[in-house]
Amino acid sequence: KGRFFILCHFPIASEEFMQMVVNDNSEVINVYGHVHSNAQKGFYKGTYHIGVDTNNLTPISIEQVWSESWPEEMMTPEVVAYKEAHSGDTNN
């Protein structure tokens, strides 16, 4: 779908890695947990905290992470077309 996720238990701690891979690449999101209620809720500066403790004790779907971290105005026309063609399709 044109988006890449780096899944980690902890948020990425290396500023150099974050700058190189996440901050300079709008297609990469660092998805993490561990920091509990000390984390920024939802999408924030290339990261997304998915811990249930900051999300009303509710699991977060990858679709929610994807849509909140990449609004349509940031998508290329090809990605918008893909999204429209596969809306409701749970196999991709």
> CA 38, CA 45: separation in Å to the nearest integer?
16
In terms of Cβ atoms closer than 10 Å to its own Cβ (0-12, 13-18, 19+), residue 69 is buried
Q: Which residues contact 69 (CB under 8 A, 6 or more apart)?
A: 3, 29, 43, 48
What pLDDT shows up at residue 1? 54
Task: Check whether 91 has a pLDDT greater than 60.
Answer: no
Range 9-14 average pLDDT: 78
pTM across the whole model: 0.66
Query: 28 and 47 in contact (C-beta within 8 Å)?
Result: no
Q: pLDDT tens, 21-77?
A: 666 566 778 888 888 777 778 888 778 888 888 888 888 888 888 778 776 666 677
> CA 76, CA 39: separation in Å to the nearest integer?
30
